[in-house]
Structure 1
């Protein structure tokens, strides 16, 4: 029998199972109240709109093209629509700056592959999106903590990367309602990220997966918009904007996109040609059909639903969590980040929770590049109604309270 471990590349040792993907299996168990999956509520998908879209595509002149190979850049009408939407949020661009991916996760994988050599350093949040760490890990980087304003100097980042045998290549962050913390970076913080990137001469990867899901407060311009305003053109920008239709229209169709300067797009197109040629034509056409006709109404629908669920979770946490537990108040997105009383381990708590209270969540340690943050957990409110949220948080609060003597 072949010893597969000696055949696998060294990078394979950095591949770990996603705690979140494993926890999603619990969604099929009716006795579990799940706050684990950061996924949209399927009951809110615009199913009838997609049924109409598919019927129109197959009844029209695009029927054959929808089943055929296509260009690697992506379906032109979808890219044209996206360019118009980017204009609305201050990102002036053309279709040549828009590239379609198979979900934004593919964009992160491509960008890691494009920029990271073994031993290079990526600057990320502490915590940060687990999927980004998984995408970048394959290219054998080191991680350093992205601190836009603080005691870190650009030179300290540069020296740290050099000591590890590489260079700093990019800063990765989600500026709006981040996964997992739900936090939003204000305008000043975004400008500080750009200033740091300028000093280090690195790229900025702006993950905007949740940008449309704002429930409170005034929108903050995307980092790419701020940079374009300062420099006059997207072609002068170092920021790479990654977006997705997974949180707004349909995750199952796996349609994401990248907006960036044309030299970046040109490289991504070459990578696409070598990987999967192009994202599925039919899926792109269906997304374009629904987006051009229903996007704003669909976003309004999910905003109203998720806002109510967020409020229910925040209210339940205030009623049921014992002293010593703290949490953020997200202005949008799908998550509430909870810091447990010192000494309570989120992973151990999850095991006890599944056994006794039948509530699932994600231990926060998964989101830290150094596996710290043991006393944190991520709660998602997107897939539970208000009554279920209230019951689930009551159970979780009881569990945390019972764990306090063990933590003392």
Structure 2
């Protein structure tokens, strides 16, 4: 049987994640890897989760933990999220929160809900590779979101019409973005909201790294800024995507969407059709751990990752040849390198693996048009200081060999 003859057209846009493939290198002890943007498992609150799972599986709780549940998500966890949203300047209720299987599922649902083939999604350049993977299935056209640029809303609309659809949403990772580590300032956030108003589109605010700020003052989420403009979350077009993957544990796959109840109710229908609900046991455990250790645990993460970031920035300054530049993130897990224009990050990776036993992610995969091959992403979350120092030394050698 020729399966290609019966696959939907969308399958032609589904590609293997370059990061997921590179993660396989983590099992090779001789490789120093800065590829996977993943938390350090040594920092997981394991004992707290052991206690939480034991409690969830106790005689008084096991029936609920192991049974089917409501699609919206575990009520006490949604209540905790409501408290966190309010602390960020986002007053809301349970009805404004849907629990998803990681924020990645939220991105998939939002793409499915809004994109018809040929519609345009505005994304940053570069942008989170997982967002492109989620949206690709719905066959959109991508256009460059430039919150500080001089493109008019009319230009965006005409470009989308010429591509066969209309602009549906603007997507941005706002704090310590994957892949660049950069943060959208207040003016950029306000500009995105202004553009969305004129185009009458949604705004998807990806806040997976919001808790990992090491320097500088916090900036209000776009949803908080929009509520300040309009008075109520029910009047807002911004949809806030949060996650416990970077703060507590990625393996339990618990995230959420916060937005107007009218939109959340539509997402609930998608949840019902896709997987009924996220695992109740996992949600109960996350709720217990979040309520008991979240503040202290995230403070520990910030101390640890901040020190590793500083080590990487210092090592880059010591070992990078002239012509290489990099971002200096205030938080998150990533540093973004720009190589001299004639260089190719994928070719550099191949050489670095062979000659230096070093891994990272070529930057081209983070661009919707596969441009800017002379870039790469480094993650500092998983390596200790010695590996970071040695890794940057090897990276400098690999770059010099290609120049």
After TM superposition, the score normalised by the length of structure 1 is 0.98
Q: CA deviation digits over 1:225-272, x for unaligned, max 9?
A: 000011000000000000000001000000000000011100010001
Alignment of 1:8-407 (within 5 A): 8-59=7-58, 61-404=60-403
Report runs of 4+ in structure 1 exceeding 3 Å deviation. Answer: none
Give the whole-Å Cα distance in 1 for the aligned partners of 2:264 and 2:335.
34
Give 3-state SS (helix, strand or coil) of 1:123's partner: strand
Q: CA deviation at 1:60?
A: 5.1
Give the whole-Å Cα distance in 1 for the aligned partners of 2:167 and 2:55.
48
Give the whole-Å Cα distance in 2 for the aligned partners of 1:151 and 1:257.
33
Give the whole-Å Cα distance in 2 for the aligned partners of 1:85 and 1:148.
27
Q: CA deviation digits over 1:283-306, x for unaligned, max 9?
A: 000000000111001101111110
Give the whole-Å Cα distance in 2 for the aligned partners of 1:71 and 1:312.
45
Give the whole-Å Cα distance in 1 for the aligned partners of 2:138 and 2:58.
44
Give the whole-Å Cα distance in 2 for the aligned partners of 1:157 and 1:244.
30
Give the whole-Å Cα distance in 1 for the aligned partners of 2:143 and 2:130.
17
Give the whole-Å Cα distance in 2 for the aligned partners of 1:25 and 1:373.
25
Give 3-state SS (helix, strand or coil) of 1:216's partner: coil
Give 3-state SS (helix, strand or coil) of 1:59's partner: coil
Give the whole-Å Cα distance in 1 for the aligned partners of 2:295 and 2:23.
29
Give the whole-Å Cα distance in 2 for the aligned partners of 1:355 and 1:76.
51
Q: CA deviation at 1:150?
A: 1.6
Give the whole-Å Cα distance in 2 for the aligned partners of 1:304 and 1:319.
23
Give the whole-Å Cα distance in 1 for the aligned partners of 2:147 and 2:159.
16
Q: CA deviation at 1:400?
A: 0.6
Give 3-state SS (helix, strand or coil) of 2:177's partner: coil
Give the whole-Å Cα distance in 2 for the aligned partners of 1:134 and 1:179.
14
Give the whole-Å Cα distance in 2 for the aligned partners of 1:272 and 1:150.
37
Give the whole-Å Cα distance in 2 for the aligned partners of 1:41 and 1:253.
15
Q: CA deviation at 1:151?
A: 2.1
Give the whole-Å Cα distance in 1 for the aligned partners of 2:220 and 2:61.
36
Give the whole-Å Cα distance in 1 for the aligned partners of 2:226 and 2:37.
30
Q: CA deviation at 1:94?
A: 0.4
Give 3-state SS (helix, strand or coil) of 1:171's partner: strand
Q: CA deviation at 1:61?
A: 2.1
Give the whole-Å Cα distance in 2 for the aligned partners of 1:395 and 1:110.
41
Give the whole-Å Cα distance in 2 for the aligned partners of 1:235 and 1:265.
10
Give the whole-Å Cα distance in 2 for the aligned partners of 1:137 and 1:196.
23
Q: CA deviation digits over 1:274-323, x for unaligned, max 9?
A: 01000000000000000011100110111111000000000000000000
Give 3-state SS (helix, strand or coil) of 1:195's partner: helix
After TM superposition, the score normalised by the length of structure 2 is 0.99
Q: Which runs of 5+ in 2 are unaligned?
A: none
Give the whole-Å Cα distance in 2 for the aligned partners of 1:233 and 1:284.
28
The aligned length equals 403
Give the whole-Å Cα distance in 2 for the aligned partners of 1:32 and 1:104.
29
Q: Which runs of 5+ in 1 are unaligned?
A: none
